[in-house]
A = this chain, B = another copy of it.
Amino acid sequence: MAAQQPNDARIAVIGLGSMGFGMAASLARAGFDVVGADVQKTAVERFATEHGRAAGSPAEAAQNADIVVTVVVNAAQTRDVLFGPNGAATTARKGAVIISSATMSPRDAVDLSERAASLGLLYLDAPISGGAHRAAEGALTILASGEAAAFAKARPALDAMAAKLYELGDKPGTGASFKMINQLLAGVHIAAACEAITFARRLDLDIAKVYEVITGSAGNSWMFENRVPHVLAGDYTPRSAVDIFTKDLGIISDMSRDQKFPTPIAAQAFQMFLMTAAAGMGRDDDASVARLYAKIAGLDLPGQP
């Protein structure tokens, strides 16, 4: 989206993977002065050439920044790029706002928020949803919570990155909780889709026809509709890897124990992702859970030996 008026804030984007790169590009397009950092030098150079400026570390990127967007894999990496030796918190402006995008437990979000506050920084617990394509278009869904001052400072940047911004209250941890409920369902639905489509194969059904029937029936899910085509095409190039859901269903498992709340369906799905990772497919597309069922049962699937 083009900016209606110049955005003169300085923004550091830490993490230029497929999501972070698109988010940084969307911010630059909206007129912000954007500096990117990543452990991958090629991503940083490409960003500098195409959209903004490059930095060699989070601390360098955040020099005089008003806004720091972290788009790394998990809570540990977020902690490191913010509060580690070369962390962004060492150089960002006093009163700057951190927009934390990684999927993590609500407890980790609260911890990071408190640590930011102790350094005079604002913090938004702001996990994202939508994939690389929508990140590049500035059309993500953002599930954000945090104090009003943090929203006030971050909103122009959030608007540049999101098509849909949910403002979920003033408590850090709420954004993370909403994201984790989504991940619980998404993980279960992927595992169920893989179980169902391979069971259909075992029953000698035409699985392309099964896809057609189910996507028009009450058994459909967003994940069934999105992932089963990978199985039909025999293409396990990772759009989202098995390891993402071993991580996220692992967080659900931790939260479940902390809360003393049973999540038996998610726990079973977690085991299927762990089996798929154990079988050597952790970095492949998460539809590989279907290959795990096929491997166990000696079934052939499209494109598989």
Q: What are 30 residue pairs bridging A and B, where the CB atoms are less than 8 Å apart in the complex?
A: A141-B216, A141-B217, A143-B213, A177-B200, A177-B203, A181-B205, A181-B210, A181-B214, A181-B219, A182-B213, A184-B196, A185-B221, A185-B224, A186-B219, A188-B188, A188-B192, A189-B219, A189-B221, A198-B261, A202-B259, A202-B261, A203-B255, A203-B259, A220-B222, A260-B297, A262-B296, A264-B271, A264-B272, A265-B268, A268-B268
Q: Flag if B223 contacts A222 (CB, 8 Å).
A: no
Residues 191-220 of A, flagged 1 when their CB comes within 8 A of B and 0 if not, give 111011011101101000110011011111
> Is the pair A216, B181 in contact by a Cβ cutoff of 8 Å?
no
A263 at the interface (CB under 8 A from B): yes
A106 within 8 A of B: yes
Q: Which residue of B lies closest to A174 (CB)?
A: B205
Closest B residue, CB atoms, query A289: B265
Binary per-residue interface labels of chain A (271-296) against chain B in the complex, 1 for a CB within 8 Å, 0 otherwise:
11000000000000000000001001
| Nearest B residue to A131, CB-CB | B218
Q: Is A178 an interface residue (CB 8 A)?
A: yes
> A262: which B residues are within 8 A, CB to CB?
293, 296-297
A203 with B265: CB separation less than 8 A: no
Interface SS of chain A: helix
Residues 31-83 of A at the B interface (beta carbon under 8 Å): none
For the A-B complex with A182-B214, A221-B222 known, give 14 more contacts whose Cβ atoms are closer than 8 Å.
Answer: A141-B217, A182-B213, A183-B219, A189-B221, A195-B264, A195-B265, A198-B261, A199-B256, A199-B259, A202-B259, A217-B222, A221-B221, A265-B265, A265-B272
- A168→B207 CA distance, assembly (Å): 12
Closest B residue by C-beta to A178: B213
Q: How would residues 239 to 258 of chain A score, 1 for a CB under 8 Å from any chain B CB and 0 otherwise? A: 00000000000000001100
> Closest approach, in angstroms, between the C-beta of A119 and any C-beta of chain B?
27
Kindly list chain B residues whose C-beta atoms are within 8 Å of the C-beta of A271: 264
- Asked whether, in the complex, the Cβ of B200 is within 8 Å of the Cβ of A181, the reply is yes
Q: Are A226 and B218 in contact (CB under 8 A)?
A: yes
Flag if A191 contacts B265 (CB, 8 Å): yes
Smallest CB separation, A42 vs chain B (Å): 29
The reply to whether B199 and A166 contact each other, CB–CB distance below 8 Å, is: no
Q: Does A164 contact B (CB under 8 A)?
A: yes
Residue of B nearest to A197 (CB): B181
